[in-house]
Structure 1
Amino acid sequence: MGSQEVLGQAARLASSGLLLQVLFRLITFVLNAFILRFLSKEIVGVVNVRLTLLYSTTLFLAREAFRRACLSGSTQRDWSQTLNLLWLTAPLGVFWSLFLGWVWLQLLEVPDPNVAPHYAAGVVLFGLSAVVELLGEPFWFLAQAHMFVKLKVTAESLSVILKSVLTVFLVLWLPHWGLYIFSLAQLFYTTVLVLCYVIYFTKLLGSPESTKLQTLPVSRISDLLPNITRNGAFINWKEAKLTWSFFKQSFLKQILTEGVYDIVNNLGSLVARLIFQPIEESFYVFFAKVLEREKDATLQKQEDIAVAAAVLEFLLKLALLSGLTITVFGFAYSQLALDIYGGAMLSSGSGPVLLRSYCLYVLLLAINGVTECFTFAAMSKEEVDRYNFVMLALSSSFLALSYLLTRWCGSVGFILANCFNMGIRITQSLCFIHRYYRRSPHRPLAGLRLSPVLLGAFALSGMVTAVSEVFLCCEQGWPARLAHIALGAFCLGATLGTAFLTETKLVHFLRTQLGVPRRTDKTT
């Protein structure tokens, strides 16, 4: 498969992921608004913060390293060994769900049972749902490695919709169940998700259609189950060592980046999750397929190196533009967003300052997502290990800085410490990218340069909206607020128009990769 074809598939995967995120957030928003009419906000808070964090942390620690290591492997591999390695995520998930469940029940404060009943059952069921989802990891990996876009969209959309229907039904008919409602809905969601992948591959591999798919490494469903390979080795130890390196990196990353406060975190990171996460996940697959680990840029196929450099440049440009837009306009509209979301209780306190600080963090988060996406796809195992040592050294400085800054400026200090941490990680990745392409004619880091005209547009928009906020928001009533919103919309349109006229290469890239329909395989 050529690099251009892989690029097209990665772009479609990213765009479908973006659409899925928008759909899921919309469904979640409407569902929460409905649930709050029947259940207490404390129950919804426990689910969205405590139990969802348990579920996501278990999945992250159990599978993130395996995904990075296995997706970056060559197509010329023993697929049985790779699938065997992926099956290890299930027992690892059992360990993490038991350990974290114990932490959630014994070390963290348990909510009042009169306010949030059945909390212990919720912890057990959310941990179990994570383990169930990990049982589908080999099937997910096969679909992701071969970029079965329609399967991903269908499975995740169907799972979320059915979960929402079940939640509404239980809320209406059995509201006294409390946390049982959300726990059973979550378990139902992961079960449906896994079954979608299993049923799809069962039907595909048992049909004549599968013989047409020459790229699939398996011919029957039993090939996806754990088995001993021809050479007697259960797993590929090179992949296993790389997985261990990525696990250490993932564990440190989870420790270093957890923790910005509830509502501000949800509002501030919403756009980041919508835009950057699907792009990072999809283009990691692209870079992992196009680039070969252990090889310098001069020793690889120059066509692939050129395509990877061009894609990295455009992704950096897109991340920078998106992050700057959020930072510039987020500064002037943080107070209004919090006022609309939670009223004067949020907008009159420290919330606006927290959200403004978080907008800066989102800019760094966007750039870091793209740079690490490339870096972890191109690094050798030894380079990943060296990076882990840097992360380990960074953890102590991060904790010290967090302590000093929070004592000096409160909650904002923690966000600023996260910004410092993210800045160091970006610097590490930029140094790696510079070294990687140093002896080639390609300069992908040029994506971090914007035209003076566009920078001027951002600066002017920032000044205009900041003045507008002083005179029109938020105590002046809704007519003034609407004028503030209209002025911001005009400035945003003018800034995006300037970007459209000055960043013509980026516009062409987005048009060619996302705007032109492509013929896809019937099975995907």
Structure 2
Amino acid sequence: MGRNILKSSLQNASFSIIFQILFRCITFVLNAFIIRTVGQEVLGIMNVRLLLLESTILFLSKEPIMKACLTDTKSHNWAQVINQIWLSVPITAILSLGLVYVWINVLSPTDEIYISQYRLGCYAIALSCIVEQVTQSVVLVAQSFCFVKLKVVFETIYIVSRTLIFVYLVVKSPNEAINAFSVAQIASAVILCFLYYGFFFWYIDRLNVIKSGKTSGAKKTIFSDMNDFPFTSINDFFPGVMENYERVLNKDLCVLTISFGKQSVIKQVLTEGERYVMTISPVLTFSQQSMYDIVNNLGSLAARFIFRPIEDSAYFYFTQMIKRDEPVAKQDQRHISESATVLSQLCNVVTSIGLIVVVFGQSYSHTVLYLYGGNKLVANYLPVTLLRFHSFAIVLLAINGVTEGYVFATMSNKQLDRYNYVMVIFSVSFLVISYVLTNIFGPVGFILANCVNMLARIIHSLIYINKKYKSTSYKPLEGLVPDRKFIAILVISGVATKLSETFNSSLTLHILIGAVFFVVTLGVWAVENKSLLRLGYDKYRRMSTKND
């Protein structure tokens, strides 16, 4: 591809972080609006039960094929790839039929007044998932050819449109909030589909005009690095249209898809395990589930809008830089050196962020919850306890995201298959531990179970990475060990802010003290990592110069 992989990966991470911040802000405001307008039980039905259905359908049908098709995009036979990505549509339809039946007829029922709305919500989720899968061929092309800003803009429109439609309908009919949720899901999915296809219809038309030489040089600039763009018509995004002199599907991509499919089932259980436990076993009421969901989302802010985009971009970067089925010694050593450096720096960054969250989370959980939800949210001490425990889970989540992303990006097909068996053990253990600890500690048990599983997955990833670079001079895992001065300032900040919380009666002063120590902590980290910051600044300056 003509575009720089590292540059696009960095841009993707940056824009995704901004997008996730926007999305989380909208979600928090929306949750507060729902609680004040229609109550906690409706929020539990939508945010836990229905969104779990959506997550399950999309993750199992989209994730395996998309990950496989993103591997080594420079070598793609795009006719085969388009055929393969469209397999997600019938897979989604089949999954939806089975899962909607389970959600309506097998799982514990809602209250009588919500039954009809809940059923419509299940069908609406299934339909919106199918529409989203119809869009995946153009989404894949946009990501493969580094249309980073396009993705962020369209997904922002998608989230904002869904929110506005929902709020408008709820204000008109507060008693039909779940119906409003259903309409908003379908409408926003259709809007996203039209946006993607509409853009590429225009883009391909303009690109064809430029290739024919019928336009001026000034208008060619935004298309100058897309000479390798293989699509000449919007119809090429549909299966069986592009010329294909080989078999219909790529055998290697099919094998890789199956491997990722097995992995996705297990990873979905690990990712949404507590929601499955809440859904299958009546451990918590819908009202309690909504409160746990609010605190869980608040506690996972760093994980969702910082660590997840970094993980996604790191996965894409490592898939392009490192070949799965070749030993490190036989690959391009410039790529190996750069990828080892990037991995070490990523480990350094995410570990540092996680430790900062742990330290300040112990002293400011009550403050954050009070500012967000007022006395009503902190009247029960459980939310504060949950948020404090979340801070420990976040540092593990941060490390696991980067290390496991590298593992998935560089494992061979055989290694992925073997790892699926390990993931089965993790999944079964997680469910058992979640059930046991939840019955002992209540909602806190979900967080403790997550910590145990994250730690086990991290250990596995560290063993794999260590073996990968054992025969080389590179030691990327050293990035996981913070500098001594940084650890020292974290300890000092933790003690000082805890004393402030205990003995200080002024909320404003407590926040100011925390702000001072937070800035000092960042300053110490910046001094200890001057070379990393200088490298990042140089990359940013070069990117800005090229864009100008």
3-state SS of 1:108 partner: coil
3-state SS of 1:111 partner: coil
Aligned to 2:455: 423
Structure 2 distance, partners of 1:386, 1:442, is: 26
Distance verdict in 2 for CA 1:395–1:126, change over 3 Å: closer
Aligned to 2:188: 189
Distance verdict in 2 for CA 1:74–1:28, change over 3 Å: closer
- Of residues 37-46 and 98-107 in structure 1, the stretch that sits farther from structure 2 once superposed is 37-46
- Residues 1:453 and 2:485 aligned together: yes
Counterpart of 2:405 (choices 373, 381, 386) is 373
Counterpart of 2:520 (choices 494, 503, 509) is 494
- Of residues 37-46 and 290-299 in structure 1, the stretch that sits farther from structure 2 once superposed is 37-46
Q: Deviation at 1:509?
A: 3.6
Q: What one-letter code is carried by the residue in structure 1 that aligns with 2:457?
A: R
Q: What one-letter code is carried by the residue in structure 1 that aligns with 2:171?
A: L
Whether the aligned pair in 1 keeps the contact of 2:351 and 2:395 (CA below 8 Å) is yes
Q: What one-letter code is carried by the residue in structure 2 that aligns with 1:63?
A: K
Whether the aligned pair in 2 keeps the contact of 1:335 and 1:347 (CA below 8 Å) is no
Counterpart of 1:483 (choices 479, 485, 509) is 509
Distance verdict in 2 for CA 1:520–1:93, change over 3 Å: farther
Distance verdict in 2 for CA 1:482–1:233, change over 3 Å: same
- Residues 1:314 and 2:345 aligned together: yes
Structure 1 distance, partners of 2:163, 2:434, is: 39
- Residues 1:72 and 2:71 aligned together: yes
- Of residues 398-407 and 133-142 in structure 1, the stretch that sits farther from structure 2 once superposed is 398-407
Counterpart of 1:338 (choices 369, 388, 394) is 369
Q: Deviation at 1:345?
A: 5.2
Whether the aligned pair in 2 keeps the contact of 1:11 and 1:514 (CA below 8 Å) is no
Distance verdict in 2 for CA 1:465–1:400, change over 3 Å: same
- Of residues 15-24 and 502-511 in structure 1, the stretch that sits farther from structure 2 once superposed is 502-511
Aligned to 1:92: 91
The number of aligned residues is 515
The share of aligned pairs that are identical, in percent, is 38
Distance verdict in 2 for CA 1:512–1:61, change over 3 Å: farther
Counterpart of 1:303 (choices 315, 334, 351) is 334
Q: Deviation at 1:356?
A: 1.5
- Residues 1:508 and 2:521 aligned together: no
Structure 2 distance, partners of 1:178, 1:411, is: 26
3-state SS of 1:331 partner: helix
Aligned to 1:107: 106
Aligned to 1:230: 244
TM-score relative to the length of structure 1: 0.92
Whether the aligned pair in 2 keeps the contact of 1:354 and 1:411 (CA below 8 Å) is yes
Distance verdict in 2 for CA 1:209–1:506, change over 3 Å: farther
Structure 2 distance, partners of 1:516, 1:21, is: 26
**1:432-479 CA-partner distances (Å, limit 9, x unpaired):** 11111222222211211221001101111111112222223xxx4xxx
- Residues 1:467 and 2:480 aligned together: no
3-state SS of 1:178 partner: helix
User: 1:40-59 residue pairs with structure 2 within 5 A?
Assistant: 40-59=39-58
3-state SS of 1:118 partner: helix
Structure 1 distance, partners of 2:210, 2:174, is: 46
Distance verdict in 2 for CA 1:419–1:32, change over 3 Å: closer
Whether the aligned pair in 1 keeps the contact of 2:169 and 2:177 (CA below 8 Å) is no
**1:364-410 CA-partner distances (Å, limit 9, x unpaired):** 11111111111111110011111111112233333443344445544
Aligned to 1:139: 138
Whether the aligned pair in 1 keeps the contact of 2:73 and 2:144 (CA below 8 Å) is no
User: 1:143-182 residue pairs with structure 2 within 5 A?
Assistant: 143-182=142-181
**1:38-79 CA-partner distances (Å, limit 9, x unpaired):** 433433332222222211221111111112211113412311
Q: Deviation at 1:232?
A: 5.0
Q: What one-letter code is carried by the residue in structure 2 that aligns with 1:188?
A: A
Whether the aligned pair in 1 keeps the contact of 2:139 and 2:196 (CA below 8 Å) is yes
Distance verdict in 2 for CA 1:274–1:239, change over 3 Å: same
Counterpart of 2:355 (choices 315, 324, 327) is 324
Distance verdict in 2 for CA 1:242–1:481, change over 3 Å: same
Structure 1 distance, partners of 2:179, 2:98, is: 21
Q: Deviation at 1:136?
A: 0.6
Structure 1 distance, partners of 2:131, 2:264, is: 21
Whether the aligned pair in 1 keeps the contact of 2:399 and 2:458 (CA below 8 Å) is yes
Q: Deviation at 1:175?
A: 3.7
Structure 2 distance, partners of 1:401, 1:41, is: 27
Counterpart of 1:218 (choices 231, 237, 240) is 231
Structure 2 distance, partners of 1:195, 1:376, is: 32
Aligned to 2:293: 262
Q: Deviation at 1:120?
A: 0.6
Q: What one-letter code is carried by the residue in structure 2 that aligns with 1:508?
A: R
**Runs of 5+ unmatched residues, structure 1:** none
Structure 2 distance, partners of 1:2, 1:454, is: 40
Q: Deviation at 1:181?
A: 1.0
Whether the aligned pair in 2 keeps the contact of 1:336 and 1:347 (CA below 8 Å) is no
3-state SS of 1:202 partner: helix
Distance verdict in 2 for CA 1:32–1:513, change over 3 Å: farther
Whether the aligned pair in 2 keeps the contact of 1:12 and 1:514 (CA below 8 Å) is no
Structure 1 distance, partners of 2:362, 2:268, is: 27
**Runs of 5+ unmatched residues, structure 2:** 212-223, 275-291
- Of residues 392-401 and 233-242 in structure 1, the stretch that sits farther from structure 2 once superposed is 392-401
Distance verdict in 2 for CA 1:426–1:455, change over 3 Å: same
Whether the aligned pair in 2 keeps the contact of 1:64 and 1:250 (CA below 8 Å) is yes
3-state SS of 2:111 partner: coil
**1:166-194 CA-partner distances (Å, limit 9, x unpaired):** 22332333444332211111111111111
